[in-house]
Every structure is written in structure tokens, then in C-alpha cells.
């Protein structure tokens, strides 16, 4: 006997062989998909197949995967938004003590429960937009206790709200003001990383590789230590300048390289060889008024899988809708609608190392799915805003249902 059997007029499977199915049915048992196909092909009487039979009039798809967020932080930086509109640059704001370091001050002043309470409304909005799996990064603590609290808060959010959370250790986000750079690197890499990993708080290691952040040599040292601990790596790469970040990420077999506005053909080829996912983050590009777009055509031609994520953060991407990120990736960066859909499902899952279980409606996959008040999956990035998600399901259990 199955746990749930959902009938829907239209279903989009996602995945490698994505297809639309009309007059569809999806069966769930023990949190896994045990049937997906046309209702007419069900192997028996529906009333005898499942304890809960639901006839719905919505589109059924995989739930979305937001594979790059800085969702946990203290305070906000709406004041900087106004400054940027008046002409201040990202570097200008950082130089006067704003930017990442402003959020560090607010985050350090918050305990775990306060961080959870501040982040939960943001996460609920994304869940209400169809997201059931998240990356959540540290990097706004920049001391051991604060980084630990951020990672603990991320774990607590997943447990409290029922979503899958993968944590990324991002202590190499910035060097705290007044702290010796080498000493900070030594401690963050050689002390904090192994200890927090031993506590079960780290799923991946990330770094901000940029001319105003951390160098190739510094990141390589971090990644070598992560590799020695068998922790996957990811990288903020080539966002503001050409630093060879994509190639560096590929060198270490990174799960993903993210941003990529200034990535060159060498970096694209390296990612193609390593299987590293390109995570496209159009909201930060929009907020920062950047001009250089990521090399979408080159990534496509090389066969590099492209994910799309919100990059939700308090400074450069205060975005609470992964669907809007999908729409921006199409309209601003030139991704196809299909690429955006796969980017927020299958390839987003791959960027988190979850591709075996999430991002597709396939037999044996985890039952992470969403129901939408539209007829076709192509409408999800088409509508910029609106409350389209009717229900979000994670592991067969409803974590959001619109009243």
C-alpha cells in the first residue's frame, strides 16, 4: 500500500529525459516515488493502491532546489541599496566598513535561536515559492563561535521547516577588520574547519575568490585541507574580475563554480572536463548593475550543466524567489526556458551533491515535488512574481500548502 497517490492533469518530470505527461499520476511510499506516469496505466484500483488518494487540478513538477544562498544572517543592508543607487560601488561600501563586515557585526550579536528566527521567514517565502532543498552558507561570523552558530542555525532551519539543507563553510568570505590575515587563514583552515566538520556541521567548503577577497593560493590551501577531510568544495568564482576561479574550482573537482561573469574559455573547458556545475546568479548581477554577463553560450556548447539560484543575501541579492531568478536567467543572461527549469531542479540538485535523490520525478527518487496553479512548467519562469505554488512536498510530506 502506498502512502499517497496524486492525480494531476499535467506533470513535468524534470531530469535528463524531461517530459510532460498529461492525465498523470504519482505514487509515494516511504518518502520515495514508486509510480510516475499516466493515470490510465496504474497497476490496479487507485482506492486499493494508496491510503491517501488526491485528485488535484494543478501542474505537478519536482520541487525547486536553491543551490546557493546566504540565508542565515543578522540584520539587513537596505541602507547600502540606497547608497548604490546614488553611485557608490561594492568596493566603496566595503572600504568604509560596510558590505560583508556590516553583516558580520549584526550576525555576531545574534545567538542561534535569534539567527533561526530572523532566517525562518525568508526560508518560508522560498518554500512557498516551491523550494524544498537549500544550500545555506556561513561566512558572516568570521570567528569560530559565530561561524558555528550560523551552521547550527542552518541545521535547525531544515529540521524546523522540513526542508533539505546542505551547509557550506564559507569562513574565507572576508578577513575580519583588525585581524592578521595569515593568522586568520591558519586558524580558519587548520583549526575551525576540521573541528566543525567533526561536529557534523559542514557538507561542503566554499570560498570567495576575488581580487578584493581571497587569492588562488589561499583558496587552494583551503581546498587541499577540505579534500584531505573528504569534504566537497564549491567556489564563488570570477564574479567581479577574471581571476581564473572556474579553472581553480575544476582543478579540485568542485561540485560547482558560482557567478562566473568573467570566466574565460579556459575555465569553461576545465569545468566541462571536471563535471563542475556552473551556478548562475542573475539577481546579484542585477542589483550590482554589472555589465559583464556569464558565458552562457560557451557553457552550453561545452556541455557544462548550468544551475540557477537565488544567491539570497543581505547585500547584493535580497531575492526571495527562485522563480524570479529563473526568469532573470532567461531574460537577462539568455538561458533557454528549459535550461532555467533544469537549472532550478536537476542541476541545482547536482550542485549540492543531491542528484541521486532530488530534482526529478523518477522512480526511486525522493518525493520532493510541487503543485502549481499553472498548466505547464514553462510558465514558472515566465511569470515574474505572483503566488503560483499551491503546495510544496519534501520526502512525501507537505511542508507548505497555500490556504
- Whether residues 165 and 305 share a domain: the answer is yes
Q: Give the angle 316-213-307 at the CA atoms, nearest 5°.
A: 50
Residue 400: the pLDDT is: 98
Mean pLDDT along residues 30-42: 98
Residue 142, sorted as left (phi over 0), alpha (psi -120 to 50) or beta, turns out to be: left
- Domain of 12, CATH number, reads 2.30.40.10
Mean pLDDT of 253-257: 98
Let me know whether 130 and 145 are in one domain: yes
Q: What is the CATH number of the domain that holds 279?
A: 3.20.20.140
Best CA proximity match to 196, nearest among 141, 252, 134? 141
Same domain, 44 and 127: no
Range of lowest pLDDT (92-101, 118-127, 249-258, 301-310): 92-101
Q: Are residues 46 and 153 in the same domain?
A: no
pLDDT in tens, 170-201: 999 999 989 999 999 999 999 999 999 999 99
145 and 281 in a single domain? The answer is: yes
Q: Which domain holds residue 216?
A: 64-351
Compute CA distances 378 → 15, 220, 323, 336, whole Å: 15, 40, 11, 10
- For the whole model, what pTM was predicted? 0.96
Same domain flag for 374 and 308: no
Distance linking the first and last C-alpha atoms of the chain: 29
Of 311, 329, 351, the last residue of a domain is 351
User: What is the reported pLDDT for 88?
Assistant: 80
pLDDT at 82 over 80: no
CB distance 90 to 99 below 8 Å: yes
**pLDDT reported for residue 97:** 72
Are residues 362 and 283 part of one domain? no
Considering the domain architecture, whether residues 286 and 315 belong to the same structural domain is answered as yes
Which residue from 191, 183, 242, 197 is spatially nearest to 216, judged by alpha carbons? 242
Residue 312's φ and ψ, nearest 5 degrees, are: -50, 120
Q: How far apart are CA 154 and CA 173, in angstroms?
A: 17
Nearest to 348, CA basis, from 296, 263, 279: 279
Residue 94 has pLDDT above 80, yes or no: no
Same domain, 58 and 69: no
Place of cell 531568478: 325
Helices then strands, each counted (H, E), the chain: 17, 16
Determine the Cα–Cα distance for residues 100 and 141; give it in Å rounded to an integer.
10
The answer to whether residue 80 scores a pLDDT higher than 90 is no
Q: Please compute the mean of the pLDDT values over residues 309-326 and round it to a whole number.
A: 96
pLDDT band of 296, cuts 50, 70, 90: very high
Gyration radius of the chain's alpha carbons: 21
Q: What is the pLDDT of residue 169?
A: 98
Query: How many domains is the chain built from?
Result: 2
Helix (H, G, I), strand (E, B) or coil at 21: strand
**Among residues 232, 229, 230, which one has the least CA distance to residue 207?**
232
Mean pLDDT score, 308-312? 98
Q: Tell whether 105 and 7 lie within a shared domain.
A: no
Strands (E), 75-197: 131-137, 164-172
Q: What is the pLDDT of residue 71?
A: 98
Reference 158, options 187, 192, 120, 125; nearest CA is 120
Please indicate, yes or no, whether residues 104 and 44 belong to a single structural domain of this protein: no
Is the domain of 25 the same as that of 171?
no
Amino acid at each position: 500500500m502506498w502512502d499517497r497517490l496524486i492525480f494531476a492533469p499535467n506533470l513535468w518530470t524534470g531530469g535528463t529525459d524531461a517530459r510532460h505527461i498529461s492525465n498523470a499520476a504519482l505514487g509515494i511510499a516511504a518518502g520515495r516515488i514508486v509510480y510516475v506516469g499516466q493515470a490510465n496505466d496504474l497497476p490496479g484500483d487507485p482506492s486499493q493502491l494508496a491510503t491517501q488518494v488526491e485528485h488535484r487540478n494543478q501542474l505537478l513538477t519536482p520541487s525547486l532546489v536553491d543551490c546557493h544562498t546566504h540565508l542565515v544572517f543578522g540584520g539587513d543592508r537596505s541602507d547600502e541599496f540606497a547608497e548604490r543607487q546614488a553611485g557608490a560601488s561594492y568596493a566603496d561600501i566595503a572600504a568604509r566598513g560596510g558590505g560583508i563586515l556590516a553583516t558580520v557585526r549584526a550576525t555576531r550579536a545574534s545567538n542561534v535561536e535569534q539567527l533561526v528566527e530572523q532566517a525562518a521567514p525568508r526560508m518560508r517565502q522560498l518554500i512557498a515559492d516551491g523550494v524544498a532543498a537549500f544550500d545555506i552558507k556561513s561566512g558572516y561570523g568570521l570567528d569560530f563561535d559565530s561561524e558555528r552558530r550560523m551552521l547550527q542555525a542552518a541545521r535547525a532551519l531544515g529540521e524546523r521547516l522540513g526542508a533539505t539543507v546542505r551547509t557550506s563553510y564559507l569562513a574565507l568570505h572576508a578577513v575580519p577588520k583588525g585581524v592578521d590575515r595569515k593568522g586568520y587563514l591558519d586558524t580558519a583552515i587548520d583549526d575551525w574547519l576540521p573541528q566543525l566538520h567533526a561536529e557534523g556541521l559542514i557538507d561542503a567548503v566554499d570560498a570567495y575568490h576575488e581580487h578584493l577577497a581571497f587569492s588562488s593560493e589561499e583558496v587552494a590551501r583551503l581546498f587541499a585541507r577540505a579534500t584531505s577531510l573528504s569534504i566537497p568544495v564549491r567556489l564563488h568564482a570570477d564574479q567581479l574580475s577574471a581571476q581564473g576561479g572556474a579553472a581553480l574550482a575544476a582543478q579540485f573537482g568542485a561540485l560547482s563554480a558560482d557567478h562566473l561573469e568573467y570566466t574565460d574559455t579556459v575555465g569553461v573547458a576545465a569545468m566541462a572536463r571536471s563535471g563542475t556545475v556552473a551556478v548562475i546568479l542573475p539577481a546579484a548581477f542585477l542589483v550590482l548593475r554589472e555589465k559583464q554577463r556569464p558565458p552562457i553560450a560557451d557553457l552550453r556548447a561545452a556541455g557544462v550543466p548550468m544551475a540557477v539560484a537565488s544567491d539570497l543575501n543581505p547585500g547584493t541579492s535580497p531575492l526571495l524567489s527562485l522563480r524570479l531568478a529563473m526568469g532573470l536567467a532567461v531574460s537577462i543572461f539568455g538561458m533557454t526556458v528549459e535550461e532555467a527549469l533544469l537549472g532550478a531542479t536537476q542541476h541545482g540538485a547536482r550542485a549540492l551533491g543531491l542528484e541521486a535523490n532530488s530534482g526529478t520525478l523518477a522512480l526511486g527518487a525522493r518525493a520532493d515535488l510541487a503543485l502549481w496553479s499553472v498548466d505547464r512548467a514553462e510558465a514558472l519562469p515566465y511569470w515574474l512574481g505572483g503566488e503560483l505554488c499551491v503546495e510544496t512536498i519534501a520526502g512525501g510530506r507537505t511542508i507548505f500548502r497555500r490556504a
